[in-house]
Amino acid sequence: MASIWNHRISISLFGEAEAPAIGVVLDNLPPGEYVDLEELAGFLYRRTRPLIPSEDPAEPHQVEYPNVLSGLIGNRTTGAPLCAFLNNPKNISSLDYQEMSRIARPGHADYTGAMRYRGFADVRNSGHLSERMTIPLCFAGGICQQMLARRGIYVGAHISSIHGIKDKPISSTEATREELLRIRKRKFSVNDPAKGRKMLADIQKASECGETLGGTIACYALNVPAGVGSPIFDGLENSIAQLVFGIPGVRGLEFGSGFRSAAMTGSQCTDPFYCDDHGHVRTQSNHHGGILGGISSGMPIVCHVAIKPAAEIAKPQSTVDYFAMTNEVVQNDTVKHPCMVPESVPCVEAAVSIALVSHLLDYPNFV
């Protein structure tokens, strides 16, 4: 099933955008793991908080607290499947379902979903293909992120660019826990707040013009020990890629220097090894992004994710009625999501955290 990911730990997403609830079942988590539900709710809030936070201190934070049905007692995992769900807002779309189920919105999966599911899929707010399904993904990833942090492994991400405006990069060899945690606490996930203000201004301008913007996210995993992962089909990159591409809007993923490596010579791209003052094996550079042959090298794991602009723009778009086979034109009155990049940051962290835990369960002394 497309909504189940099984790799030592099993994650099953359920629900739809307009269903009563959405949720996740996690299986094969080690028993006795402590889960800080307050911290987890804060992680979920990062996915839903507004682009421009209100200055009104009286405005309540829209923190979504998950309802845990099983697998957790006294905030400790029991070893049984951990099932959690969130109620969906009771604002079922009043739009004509018959019309929605036959008009292919440009940039959406309406047409491909209709072909795949023979016209029976729920297309209201994209149904099971909705970006809202990243909430249960973040729930699972938030738990895995806490498991990693207790073992000294830290996963963090920041907006590296939006519409050509680039954030101050983090060193791929010397990234620190403090840097990642500082960015995680900010309302806008950038390393340089001044660059973040420019990004927000550009997003606002695009929205006023009926447009949307895309960008890139840089994600780091620090203190991952060497030797985690496997070659060929079971590599760390493979697992991370599977989960990252489950995030709506992702159009590209690269590790280390990625596509820039294609323009390098061997001497430029190879990362020479050395022993540091503590007797640890490190590399002078990190073009490999912390993974060699599908196995961690001990250097920071670094990946970059490309997020496309949201498809719902406030401009006329040509499309088709694929039942009547006629040409049509659609247009939204407003831009709902001017930029999906900020809300995708915790989603990328969640995907990387899940992949790491799934491989580290085989690593000595992890459990």
In terms of Cα–Cα distance, which of 229, 223, 220, 222 is closest to 363?
229
The verdict on residue 283 lying in a domain is yes
Neighbouring C-beta atoms of residue 107, cutoff 10 Å: 16
Judge residue 328's burial from the number of C-beta atoms within 10 Å of its C-beta, 0-12 exposed, 13-18 middle, 19 or more buried: middle
Using the predicted structure, report yes or no on whether residue 277 has a pLDDT greater than 50.
yes
The verdict on residue 367 lying in a domain is no
**Structure-model confidence comparison of residues 107 and 292, the more confident one:** 292
Average pLDDT, the chain: 90
Lowest mean pLDDT among 18-27, 147-156, 165-174: 18-27
196-222 core/surface letters (b: 16 or more CB in 10 A; e: else): bebbbebbeebbeebbbbbbbbbbbbb
| Tokens linked to 147 | 């498991």
3-state secondary structure of 64: coil
Using the predicted structure, report yes or no on whether residue 70 has a pLDDT greater than 80.
yes
Which percentage of the chain shows pLDDT scores above 90?
71
Strand order of the β-sheet with 301-307 is: 165-166, 154-162, 215-222, 301-307, 250-255
Quick check: 248 and 138 in contact, CB under 8 A?
no
pLDDT confidence tier of residue 126, bands split at 50, 70 and 90: low
What are the helix (H) ranges across 150-256?
177-185, 193-208, 236-244
DSSP string for residues in 11-28: EEEEE-TTSSEEEEEEES
The verdict on residue 179 lying in a domain is yes
φ/ψ of residue 233, rounded to 5:
-90, -5
CATH of the domain at 185: 3.60.150.10
The verdict on residue 251 lying in a domain is yes
pLDDT confidence tier of residue 54, bands split at 50, 70 and 90: very low
φ/ψ of residue 291, rounded to 5:
-135, 125
In terms of Cα–Cα distance, which of 252, 196, 249, 191 is closest to 220?
191
3-state secondary structure of 307: strand
Report d(CA 143, CA 130) in Å as an integer: 22
pLDDT confidence tier of residue 79, bands split at 50, 70 and 90: very high
The verdict on residue 40 lying in a domain is yes
75-97 core/surface letters (b: 16 or more CB in 10 A; e: else): eebeeeebbbbbebeeeeeeeee
Using the predicted structure, report yes or no on whether residue 57 has a pLDDT greater than 80.
no
The verdict on residue 34 lying in a domain is yes
Report d(CA 314, CA 137) in Å as an integer: 29
**Confidence (pLDDT) at 55:** 43
In terms of Cα–Cα distance, which of 264, 298, 315, 329 is closest to 104?
329
pLDDT confidence tier of residue 2, bands split at 50, 70 and 90: confident
Using the predicted structure, report yes or no on whether residue 40 has a pLDDT greater than 90.
yes
The predicted model scores a pTM of: 0.92
The verdict on residue 365 lying in a domain is no
Q: Which residue range(s) make up the domain with 166?
A: 4-360
Q: What is the mean pLDDT of residues 9-25?
A: 89
Report the number of secondary-structure helices (H) and strands (E) in the chain. Answer: 9, 18
Quick check: 330 and 103 in contact, CB under 8 A?
yes
Judge residue 263's burial from the number of C-beta atoms within 10 Å of its C-beta, 0-12 exposed, 13-18 middle, 19 or more buried: exposed
**Confidence (pLDDT) at 63:** 65
**Confidence (pLDDT) at 59:** 44
Using the predicted structure, report yes or no on whether residue 122 has a pLDDT greater than 80.
no
> Residues 6 or more apart from 169 whose CB is under 8 A from it?
160, 191, 218
The verdict on residue 63 lying in a domain is yes
Report d(CA 365, CA 89) in Å as an integer: 43
**Confidence (pLDDT) at 124:** 63
For 323-346, how does the pLDDT look when each residue is reduced to its tens digit (9 = 90+)? 788 998 888 888 888 999 999 999
Q: Identity (one letter) of the amino acid at 69?
A: L
> Residues 6 or more apart from 180 whose CB is under 8 A from it?
154, 155, 156, 220, 222
Largest Cα–Cα distance of the chain, in whole Å?
Answer: 71
pLDDT confidence tier of residue 99, bands split at 50, 70 and 90: low
**Domain count of the fold of the chain:** 1
pLDDT confidence tier of residue 309, bands split at 50, 70 and 90: very high
For 136-157, how does the pLDDT look when each residue is reduced to its tens digit (9 = 90+)? 999 999 999 999 999 999 999 9
Using the predicted structure, report yes or no on whether residue 128 has a pLDDT greater than 70.
no
**Confidence (pLDDT) at 165:** 98
Report d(CA 213, CA 202) in Å as an integer: 9
Beta strands in the chain (DSSP E): 4-7, 9-15, 21-27, 67-70, 72-73, 76-77, 82-87, 154-162, 165-166, 215-222, 250-255, 273-275, 281-283, 291-292, 295-296, 301-307, 317-321, 326-330
pLDDT confidence tier of residue 62, bands split at 50, 70 and 90: low
